Structure 1
Amino acid sequence: MIFENINVLSRKSDLAVIQAHEFGRVLLSKYPSININFKTKSTSGDKDLQTPLSEMPNEGVFTDDLRDDLIKKNCDIIIHSWKDLPLDVGSETEIAITLNRADERDLLFIKKNNIDKIKNERSIFILSSSPRRKYNLENFITDFLPFQIQKVHFQNIRGNILTRFKKFIESDSDGFVVAKAAIDRLLNADLKLFPEIKKTLLPKINKCYWNVVPLSVNPSSPGQGALAIEIRSNDNNLKKILLELNNKEDYENVILERGELQKYGGGCHQKIGVSFQSTHFGKIKSSKGETDKGIPFQERIIYKNSNDISSQQISLNEIFPENLSDHSFFKRNVIESCKKELTALRNKCIWISRQSALPLNQEIHSSNVIWVSGLETWKKLAERGIWVNGTSDGLGEDSDLNIETLTTNQWIKLTHLDAPPSKIRHVIATYQLEENEISLNIANKKYFYWMSSSAFKYVIDRHPNIRDKVHFCGPGNTYKEIKNILADDSKNLFIELSYNDWKNKILQAID
């Protein structure tokens, strides 16, 4: 049965209306003959802009008023931000589907004009009402921003996204945290329907430095970035139509996230973030927070990893390397001629896989976006006074960086001479590898972790008998290159998120 008319309800904010129209476009792409009537309504959470969300007595402050209209048949469908939904939505309605999920991560904005103040006072004031963000971001701000910050102050803020951004710019506060999905949707809004949003928002963003906070240190609120499409539980005909629009993978991930939150009781007062990411090698689960009893926890794993090394019988003398510092396969000699080229870069996105790829004391113009392979590189560059905008979080440059709404700059990769081909076509060779001749005692080694394909080539050229051993590495270019080298033997090549994860699992197996 195809419906002639469907009444779609959302909250009144610009973002909520944009999300409703996003659903409408997807529905009409499948069923162009349906007439959609968009309706809006203010909720109790929209009306009370003083009480922090974590202190409100009811979890459903942004959803319950809308659900009442659905139950009373004043509408057919509600479009929610899934993170706004209480864990128990009741039996009269259900979340039928979700659309393709937007970015789960948070954005941190820091006013450019406040940088000197932050440096002089060694403290920073951040606008956020979220207990999760406050808990996760304090150490991130002190460790990963290029300032010597001794104290992080959080200040509550309420209102819709555009209102909050306006309050931030007009306040004395230094920084502001917001869901990246919200900014992306506002900047991508249909200009015919919302002609002023981009004009209003972009000038405010341009007054700020920004970075995308990685899920490894700041897992999202469960469901962040996903839209929940709610219908009456007995509306089977409508559900049948909607199921054709469902993103099953994203739906499953949100259910898993909400299930994790359920273990701790749920609610906006919780200092808990949990994210499930789908990748080519499985799901990554990231969780971090503090229980109601004050017990901290943090986990980043490959969910249901079938190649879990911790279940195997391994002795420490069978692994290589036992410590990363034990072996230095190469000297990295700076190519002096690159420095002038780096200094001249303007309005580029620069990918840096390791901090040594950017020569010491090298100036990088602030118009460039800096993206790094992982947290270790980010931290080292921040210590050198360099603003980093984000990281692939150890997933490699092939992972979806998803920053097109914030920048369309050309990508350039800093790497070594003779580096293997890369997704990023424009390359600046900033150093050259020079082999160190070292003695390796690997006769009894059975399990190897490789930080780079160059290190793998170095060892396998000297010890080809290790081909049939068990090899591990991260999921990026290193994995692709080693897989190509091993060819038929690549059945013994597995992904672990980091050397430390791999080593810790081995220690668990030994224990």
Structure 2
Amino acid sequence: MPDLYLSGKKTLIIASRKSDLARLQAQSVAEKLKQIYPEIKIQFHYRESLGDINLNDPLWKMPEKGVFTEDFYQDLVKHKVDMVVHSWKDLPIEVKSETRIAATLARADARDVLLFKKTSVGKNNLKLFTSSPRRIYNLDPFFKWSLPWNVEQLEFNTVRGNVQTRIRKLLESVETDGLIVAKAALDRLIQSSSEEFRETREFIKTSLSSLKVQVIPLSQNPTAAAQGALAIEIAKDRHEINKILEKINSKKTYHNVSLERKILAQYGGGCHQKIGISIFNKNKYQILFLKGLTDQGRVLDAQKIDTDLNDDQPSGNQFPRTEAQALHKMAEKEILPKEFSLNQQTQQKPRFFFITKEECLPNIEKDDVIWTSGIKTWRKLAQKGHWVCGSFDSLGEDASPGIDHFFDIQGKAPWIKITHEKGHESSWAKKCATYQVQYKNLESLYDPKVNYYYWSHGELFKSFYEKFPEIKDKYHSGGVGSTLNVLSQYIDSKKIIPCLNYEDWLKSLTKE
């Protein structure tokens, strides 16, 4: 009965693999349980799996399924352990007959990250470590433009082992230039505070001093289904354990990950797939990125925003092009540089810049950390020779980039937001306005026949709205970040149609 566990009369046994990351993940579940059930007693059971023992073969070449998870199955079924904590992405797609995933915690950052040797910067022919067919397929074209020099050839080589082993192999390999790993794994290990993981934590931090970091956007490289999420597996007949886990379960994460796995199953599932899928929530919307190549040779490349939570809003393909207008493509814009001085905080190295547009940049040094608002700004900065660490993917800047812990600094990084005079403030970055934007011909662009507007940013909307407030009765579209926040201040929610970007908006138009 649950009461026996909750009162501490019976010990709850949590199992996981032996690696530092697996133990850390199991302990995070235990900590969550103890927050809710202070009297509960917990014991850990760690063991190696087939995937830990066989470090020679790529996972997708192994004939067995669930090489990191199947070894625990019988222990659950025979009630030798009460639950097993897995990295959910390691679990086979197939549903098991006698066990189930009872719960998960809130998902960590699902993205992949490139760790790249500083000594390899500028090399035209690169060799990168990864064992994932998905990463190889999606990242070859990405790195051709994301890196700030001409990359002529990319070669991907297999690497196995835990996170610290793979980093060590990178540093010891004379020929290899970089390594691709899950950001969630790095985050968990670096941000752990337990003395148990101090050696691993310090090793990774020390290693990062000789590496450059690039966080890969989900729009360009959707991750393995369930990446960043934990799976808490129990035997189906353990109703008392299921009841205990109900209170720590993140329903939103569980729903999104289950949907990712369901979609992947349509294409066969498995580690051999060259398919990435990421489903996540932004504000009240659900966003899906799907990219890859099926076994049958079908190219997948989908980006969708689900407005099912807003049934009173019109769906796509509602408006003819003759009734639609994107003013950023029509307005005559003038960029006027203005004098600025960077905050004293930027005297420390490295400096941290959040750049919204590529206009009127400060003098950027090679070790400065750069984050962009979207992919287009990233591309332009890379073309100018700047290493970009990542991007908000045009999804808004509500929180900081989440990379401060990758750098040798104390506390939070002193981020500086490089933007225009009317750019909005960010809670995590100090604004530095380096230019003004003036629109000269807005009056001539008003057309009463237009019923559907696209706004590239909130300030353009406000400038036009001040002149023509009657547009409040029209339909408006923009990204789900700051633009959507601005629109929501002036326009009825029933008139707002979110989209991912301008290209996504174009898909909502009919030819007529």
Provide the secondary structure at the position in 2 that maps to 1:204: helix
Counterpart contact for 1:413–1:424, Cα < 8 Å: no
Counterpart contact for 1:343–1:363, Cα < 8 Å: no
Kindly provide the CA deviation profile for residues 179-221 of structure 1, in whole angstroms up to 9, marking residues without a partner as x: 0010011112233222211111111111111011011011111
The change in CA–CA distance for 1:237 and 1:166 in structure 2 (over 3 A counts) is same
The answer for the alignment partner of 2:479 in structure 1 is 474
Correspondence list, 1:331-346, <5 A: 331-338=334-341, 346=349
Provide the secondary structure at the position in 2 that maps to 1:277: strand
| Matched letter for residue 88 of structure 2 | W
Provide the secondary structure at the position in 1 that maps to 2:291: strand
**Could you tell me which of 420, 430, 435 is aligned with 2:434?**
430
2:419 is aligned with 1:415: yes
| Matched letter for residue 373 of structure 2 | S
The answer for the alignment partner of 1:214 in structure 2 is 217
TM-score by length of 1: 0.93
Two-structure CA RMSD over aligned residues (Å): 2.1
Kindly provide the CA deviation profile for residues 369-402 of structure 1, in whole angstroms up to 9, marking residues without a partner as x: 2111111111110000011111111111115633
CA distance in 1, matches of 2:276, 2:268: 13
Provide the secondary structure at the position in 2 that maps to 1:244: coil
For structure 1, the residue ranges without an aligned partner over 5 or more in a row are: none
Correspondence list, 1:110-125, <5 A: 110-116=116-122, 118=123, 122-125=124-127
Counterpart contact for 2:260–2:278, Cα < 8 Å: yes
Provide the secondary structure at the position in 1 that maps to 2:263: helix
Correspondence list, 1:46-445, <5 A: 46-116=52-122, 118=123, 122-171=124-173, 172-305=175-308, 306=311, 307=313, 309-312=315-318, 314-321=319-326, 324-328=328-332, 330-338=333-341, 346-356=349-359, 358-359=360-361, 362-399=362-399, 401-407=401-407, 408-437=412-441, 439-445=444-450
Counterpart contact for 1:108–1:177, Cα < 8 Å: yes
Provide the secondary structure at the position in 1 that maps to 2:385: coil
2:501 is aligned with 1:495: no
Counterpart contact for 1:319–1:448, Cα < 8 Å: yes
The change in CA–CA distance for 1:158 and 1:425 in structure 2 (over 3 A counts) is closer
Deviation, 1:478, is 2.1
Kindly provide the CA deviation profile for residues 427-447 of structure 1, in whole angstroms up to 9, marking residues without a partner as x: 111101233235215121110
The answer for the alignment partner of 2:35 in structure 1 is 29
Provide the secondary structure at the position in 2 that maps to 1:7: strand
| Matched letter for residue 20 of structure 1 | A
Deviates more, 1:23-32 or 1:338-347: 338-347
Kindly provide the CA deviation profile for residues 341-375 of structure 1, in whole angstroms up to 9, marking residues without a partner as x: 9996743321111112x43xx53123432111111
Provide the secondary structure at the position in 2 that maps to 1:245: coil
TM-score by length of 2: 0.92
Counterpart contact for 1:342–1:364, Cα < 8 Å: no
Deviation, 1:456, is 1.4
For structure 2, the residue ranges without an aligned partner over 5 or more in a row are: none
CA distance in 2, matches of 1:373, 1:427: 14
| Matched letter for residue 428 of structure 1 | C
Counterpart contact for 1:345–1:364, Cα < 8 Å: no
CA distance in 1, matches of 2:384, 2:366: 14
| Matched letter for residue 232 of structure 1 | A
**Could you tell me which of 448, 452, 455 is aligned with 2:453?**
448
Runs of 4+ aligned structure 1 residues displaced above 6 Å come to: 339-343
CA distance in 2, matches of 1:436, 1:339: 30
